[in-house]
Amino acid sequence: MQNIRKISLVFFLIPIVFCHCSSVTSAPKKQTAKPQVPATEKALFSFDPCDSLKFIQTENLKASGGTKSVVFSKNMEFLYAMNLEGMSVMECVQKSRQIKRIFKFKATPGTGWDYDSNKPISSYEEKPVEAFLSHHDSILWVSLHNAEGIVPIHLYDYQHKPMAKSDKCVYVQDADGKNMDTIYVPIIKTGKTPKVIACTSDDRFLLVSNWHSYNVSVLEMNGGKYPYAQLKTNIAVPSIPRGMVIDEKTNKTYVAIMGGSTISVIDNKTWTLSGEIKVASNPRHILQDNTARLFVSFNSLAKVGCVNPANGETLFTTNTAAQPRTMALSKDNAYLFVTCYQGNELQVFKIMADRFVLVNKISCPGKPVGVDIYENNDAIEAWVCSYDTGIISVNRFKKMR
């Protein structure tokens, strides 16, 4: 796709907290205490409704060049940043804004893709793209751009020896450069250029959209037994897939076909393609609210839209800054946060019954691409990663009542 950054041979802007991989040898095996599992997610996110949001401030945190996506743990204590060019995953503490751990992949040669010339290039396999947390925030599933698969990182139960020759080596480091560890994670093959990862709420099935394979992989998970997931089937889709959302009330998965003008519909009972919804061109990311409506970012058109999946009708759309990419919803589903890659903005829309209303736009230099939300009863923080600058901007809003 145009204007998507090249996956280059050289990674850059790696923070000084990273050590050179070749210097890593045996190290202390210090584990991180596993957080307590909340009773229910509903109890965590039972917030009072608010009438509006007031922008307060932006804090900038240094991450790594080429950061592609961010995801909060379900308890919202930690944010994980996928640094594609840095070949690492960074764990940041929401409250302190401090880096706690960095998971740095050992580089192995691979074949990447030049999105401007549409040609393969020499690169490395270990390029993190997107991620998903399962099993009460204990396993972080990460798609590796050039490895044709995903890896599960057990965050609190390290595997210190390889179980197979194909296992990926990962160096764990604290932000201060101490307490190093060496762990191994299995590579689970899915398809060429894996992107978005989605998971059923019972932690049984994992779905992966594979950009160059034109398919969606379905994996059956077993969090307690190596390699922790097995490929069940691959579902062919019409063109390049990216964003996905699982609707467990209807047993359907909706897949944004970024290489076309449709949303593919998967039957989750049979894991087969069951239909398609016609939408505007170049849908990238997709979300669903608590009324089952779909929200879609249309990258090349600079629009976001609301779609009724029951009849395929596009209910309403609005213009955004250039190249809307990742979106996030507030917990009450009243606000939509959209990163605009070429527009260098975070835009915030209030979702009405029949339209979007732009309520804020925040400058985010350096091509913002990923976003996720921290929220409590008084405030919302939109954590945005910018690809070019290696900055995570924390944009804080006060809830007005």
Give the least confident one: 27-31, 130-134, 229-233: 27-31
Q: Is residue 136 part of a domain?
A: yes
pLDDT band at 48, cuts 50/70/90? confident
| pLDDT band (50, 70, 90) for residue 64 | confident
Tell me if 18 is assigned to some domain: no
Residue 32 lies in a domain: no
- What pLDDT score was predicted for residue 69? 98
Q: Is 179 left (phi over 0), alpha (psi -120 to 50) or beta?
A: left
Query: Are 108 and 123 contacting, i.e. CB atoms less than 8 angstroms apart?
Result: no
Q: Is the per-residue pLDDT at 279 higher than 80?
A: yes
Report the CATH number that the domain containing residue 232 is assigned in CATH.
2.130.10.10
- More reliable by pLDDT, 47 or 229: 229
Mean pLDDT of 309-324: 97
| 44 pLDDT higher than 70 | no
41 SS3 class: helix
Q: Which residue has the higher pLDDT, 51 or 103?
A: 103
pLDDT, tens digit, 9 for 90 and up, residues 297-306: 999 999 999 9
pLDDT of residue 295: 98
Residue 16 has pLDDT above 60, yes or no: no
Residue bearing the bigger pLDDT, 29 or 260? 260
Residue 28 lies in a domain: no
Whether the CB-CB separation of 63 and 81 falls below 8 Å is answered with: yes
Which DSSP category does 316 fall into? E
Per-residue pLDDT of 338-391, as tens digits, reads: 999 999 999 999 999 999 999 999 999 999 999 999 999 999 999 999 999 999
Check residues 51 and 5 and name the one with the higher pLDDT: 51
Tell me the percentage of the chain whose pLDDT exceeds 70. Answer: 88
Could you tell me which of 185, 70, 78 has the C-alpha nearest to residue 129? Answer: 70
In a domain, 20, yes or no: no
Question: Could you read off the pLDDT of 113-122 as tens digits, one per residue?
Answer: 888 888 899 9
Give the max Cα distance, the chain. Answer: 59
Between residues 264 and 5, the one the model is more confident about: 264
pLDDT at position 304 is: 98
Across the range 174-190, mean pLDDT stands at 88
% of residues, the chain, pLDDT over 90: 82
Which residue carries 């490395």 as its tokens?
Answer: 124
Domain membership of residue 109 (yes or no) is yes
Residue 49 has pLDDT above 60, yes or no: yes
pLDDT at 135: 96
**What was the pLDDT predicted at 45?**
62
Q: Give the domain extent around 70.
A: 48-400
- Omega prior to 35 cis, within 30 of 0: no
pLDDT of 80 strictly over 60: yes
Count of structural domains, the chain: 1
Q: Phi and psi of 240, rounded to 5°?
A: -60, 120
Higher pLDDT among residues 14 and 240, named by residue: 240
- CA distances to 15, 162, 187, 381 from 348, rounded to whole Å, are 30, 45, 37, 12
Q: Using DSSP, state whether 23 is helix, strand or coil.
A: helix
Tell whether 158 is covered by a domain.
yes
First-to-last CA distance in the chain? Answer: 42
Contact (CB, 8 A) for 143 and 208: yes
- Asked whether the beta carbons of 267 and 274 are under 8 A apart, the reply is yes
Q: Is 373 part of any domain? A: yes
Confidence of residue 216 (pLDDT cuts 50, 70, 90): very high
Which is more confidently placed, 295 or 46?
295
